[in-house]
Amino acid sequence: MTKKPSKENIFHKESNVLENAKRLVEKPSTSTKQLAEEYLSLSKQYEQLLKETKVLTSVGDRLHRKLGDANQELQKQKSEIEEINEELKTNNNVLQDTINELIKARIGQKASSIVLLIAVLLFVVSEVVLEPIIEKNTDSEYIGLLLKGIIALLLKPIDVLVEWLLLRKTLGKMKRFELVSK
Amino acid sequence: MEKLVKEGSDLTPAIDFDPSSGNFVISGKSVPEDSMGFYAPVIDWLKEYVEQPANKTTFSFKLEYFNTSSSKILLDIFNILENVKDTLCFNWYCEEDDEDLEESASDFGEVLSYDINIVKFKW
């Protein structure tokens, strides 16, 4: 009796041949002629099995190599992608630094313009408003000069303060933009 | 006899066997966890087909990869096709630069009595 192909056994055909041969050998009533016929049949099956084993080994090795090659290629591509990623990261950092420098420069320019405007305003205020008051209340010429000196000395801290405020405002805008982009 | 159609997956091939036209196509990858479980109905179907085959049978083999247990069963399938070898046109498709698959076709050809036509293609 032959076995139906089972899910577990891809060698059901070969197993059947072996089982049949064993059964015949163990059977007491088997004649020498029957044994000789079985032996011949078994030899032919063995020959076929050997041929198929050679083919399957060869095909298996080839496809294993193909898989190995594909794996190697994947590894190579992975390394290349990693390298490109690193390069991109570096370029991104350089770009970010450049952008930061550019922003700082533009903020510096803007701050200078604002400080210049403040300086002109303070000068006008000191000339038009404070100078007459000082002249009216005191004879000293130095107080007016001192006032102008103080205004001049204040320009640098005002410049730093304006720059800091503008920078903070720009950074806040950038953060909000990054959050929206994400 | 009805058509045998199986959709392909990441592990199993797509099968499209039409008994009336005699056009059989197997394509994709064959690395099933249970090879016999997958192919047993295919083998049964083919055994029935070769009893009353179409005037011409065209078998298009388009597998790009198959594991060892699949190759054992594929050999069984090819052996069943020996029954229609006189009217069989067996086309083995492989990519132009896929020498491994092409040589595998030659290996199978060594134990079969019919010719395997290599059809090269480019993606």
Domains of chain B, with CATH numbers? 4-121 (3.30.750)
Q: According to the model, what pLDDT value does residue A3 have?
A: 46
**Domain assignment present for A4:** no
pTM of the model: 0.69
Q: In chain B, which residue ranges form alpha helices assigned H by DSSP?
A: 35-49, 68-80, 99-109
**Range B30-35, long-range pairs (CB < 8 A, 24+ positions):** B30/B63, B30/B65, B30/B66, B30/B67, B30/B70, B30/B74, B31/B65, B31/B66, B31/B67, B31/B70, B32/B69, B32/B70, B34/A7, B35/A10, B35/B67, B35/B69, B35/B70, B35/B72, B35/B73
Q: According to the model, what pLDDT value does residue A182 have?
A: 67
Interface test with A, best of B29, B48, B63, B71 (most A CBs within 10 A): B71
Q: Which residues of chain A have pLDDT under 50?
A: 1-3, 5-7
Q: Would you say the ipTM is above 0.90?
A: no
Between A6, A56, A65, which is nearest B75 by CB? Answer: A56
**Domain assignment present for A6:** no
Find the residue in A nearest to B40 (Cα).
Answer: A5
Find the residue in A nearest to B34 (Cα).
Answer: A7
How many structural domains compose chain A? 1
Q: pLDDT tens digit string along A74-119?
A: 999 999 999 999 999 999 999 999 988 998 899 889 989 999 998 8
Between A5, A66, A69, which is nearest B40 by CB? Answer: A5
CB burial of residue B16 (10 Å; 0-12, 13-18, 19+): middle
Find the residue in B nearest to A8 (Cα).
Answer: B36
| Cα gap B22→B55, rounded to integer Å | 7
- The CA-CA-CA angle for residues A141, A146, A147, to 5°, reads 105
**Domain assignment present for A47:** yes
Going by pLDDT thresholds of 50, 70 and 90, the confidence category of residue B15 is very high
- Paired residues of B90 in beta bridges: B59, B116
The alpha-carbon radius of gyration of chain B (Å, integer) is 14
Residues 6-45 of A with CB under 8 A from B: 6-13
**Domain assignment present for A91:** yes
Contacts of A53 in chain B (CB under 8 A): none
Judge whether A149 is closer than 8 Å to chain B, CB to CB: no
Q: What is the mean pLDDT of residues B95-113?
A: 91
Q: Do B104 and A5 touch (CB under 8 A)?
A: no
**Domain assignment present for A138:** yes
Q: Looking at per-residue confidence, does A9 or B29 come out higher?
A: B29
Domain residues for the domain of A49 are: 12-181
Q: According to the model, what pLDDT value does residue B4 have?
A: 96
